[in-house]
Amino acid sequence: MSFFKKIKEKIFGSKEKKVANLDKYVAGLSKSRLSFLNQIAQLQKKHIKIDDDFFDELEEILIMSDISPNFVNTIINALKDEVRFHNIDNPKLITEIIMDKMYTIYSNRSIVNINLNVKTDRINVFLISGVNGSGKTTSISKIARKYVLEGKKVLIIAADTFRAAAVEQLEIWAKRVGASIVKPVTNEKDPGSVVFRGLDFAIKEKMDLVLIDTAGRLQNNVNLMQELAKINKIISQKIPDGPHESLLVIDATTGQNGVSQAEIFTKATPISGIILTKMDGTSKGGIVFSIKDQLNISVKLVGLGEGMDDLQPFDLDLFIFAITKGLKNQYQI
């Protein structure tokens, strides 16, 4: 069975109802899909056979799609081995092999865990980090809404004491989605004290989920590390096994710069997963592979649009399908 047919079968034969999220992936990744397919089509049109020049241009296409050079090098080497082994020289036959290798390399590097660590018998605590403008506030709101709709008691702790606007936005969103909120009191500048009060409230009110918003300043890496370390210590004192998720929000449109920002945050606090926002706004979907390659952290949620339901669990099958949908004869349903 071909790779594309396997992906199709995993989606349309899935008991997990992957089909329900398929339209969101296809719509949200339309820019990346059109860009990638157009570049591959032009490459195949230009070359009548697979040779070193073909691979050089393919390498450039993949790097320009925001895939890290190291990951691209691994893909190219795997492709060359495959082409030699099967004696393939027709460029039109290589697209499926490219996606197969990308999928396999991504999956094989480590366990891909996209599930959020939520349990019913405890107060679940999510620490959420990210630079200003990354979509952190909106992501927190969408996560809160999801769990409120599931009947959970959700608390948002607005611990970004340096941005009054962020606190105001979270307060508005909390009211809209039906979540509780703990925010800084007048002249309260210490994020740790806000988190302390918030967790006391969560324990008293027996909340199911606590979402902690943190400051997104990168200008002073030392302060960032100290602040996040203090917040983590307070969480562990109040909720001994917390935080249960430490999620980093990255704006997909920032490309490699976003990955560089992530490297700074990983030095400040352990990161359990990535929320990759604004995927609908970029034509370079390769950042998904760069994050895995450079940080070895799984993308757990992807922002595929501005709607409240457009923050979706990351699914590699759906991602590959959406990026390649439209290739002639690949997905006949």
| 217 labelled binding-site residue | yes
Q: Are 192 and 161 in contact (CB under 8 A)?
A: no
**Pairing outcome for strands 273-277 and 299-303:** parallel
Between CA 243 and CA 231 the distance in angstroms is 10
Q: Are 326 and 3 in contact (CB under 8 A)?
A: no
Between CA 204 and CA 208 the distance in angstroms is 12
Q: How far is CA 191 from the centre of its chain?
A: 25
| 132 labelled binding-site residue | yes
The residue type found at 317 is D
Q: Please give the structure tokens belonging to residue 280.
A: 């609908």
| 197 labelled binding-site residue | no
| 213 labelled binding-site residue | yes
Q: Are 146 and 138 in contact (CB under 8 A)?
A: no
| 253 labelled binding-site residue | no
| 133 labelled binding-site residue | yes
The residue type found at 319 is F
Q: Please give the structure tokens belonging to residue 60.
A: 């450039």
Between CA 179 and CA 199 the distance in angstroms is 15
| 122 labelled binding-site residue | no
| 303 labelled binding-site residue | no
Q: Looking at the DSSP assignment, which residues form a beta bridge with residue 302?
A: 276, 312
Between CA 299 and CA 35 the distance in angstroms is 22
Q: Please give the structure tokens belonging to residue 209.
A: 């989920």
The side-by-side arrangement of strands in the sheet containing 209-213 is 180-182, 154-158, 209-213, 124-129, 245-251, 273-277, 299-303, 311-313
What DSSP character marks residue 285? T
| 131 labelled binding-site residue | yes
Between CA 292 and CA 114 the distance in angstroms is 12
| 130 labelled binding-site residue | yes
| 121 labelled binding-site residue | no
**What is the Cα Rg of the chain in Å?**
22
| 216 labelled binding-site residue | yes
Summarize the annotated binding site for GTP as residue ranges. Answer: 130-137, 213-217, 277-280
Summarize the annotated binding site as residue ranges. Answer: 130-137, 213-217, 277-280
